[in-house]
Structure 1
Amino acid sequence: MVFEAKPVKLCVIHNDVSAGNVLLRPDDGGFCLIDWGRAYLDLRV
């Protein structure tokens, strides 16, 4: 069986904009600041 990878959106849960955060531009055109220490997954199902 073949499973297609669903789009995953990472969003920051606080306003810490430091060097450890990354600005992503998902396919839907939105922007998300990612704090790799406290990021969470927003699965689109």
Structure 2
Amino acid sequence: MAGLLDAMQGFAVIGIVIAVGCYLLVYEFVLRGLDTLYLVSCW
């Protein structure tokens, strides 16, 4: 049972890391998109 709990905890940590990584990627992508729109609209 302890092994199962350890595995679940490990999966939870990996899931959080992946979620944060995806969030940062999307955040950066959106910021760049907004920057590009801003530059285009200023031209």
For normalisation by structure 2, the TM-score amounts to: 0.21
Structure with the largest fraction of strand = 1
For normalisation by structure 1, the TM-score amounts to: 0.21
| Larger RCO, structures 1/2 (Cα 8 Å, 6+ apart) | 1
- The structure number with the bigger radius of gyration is 2
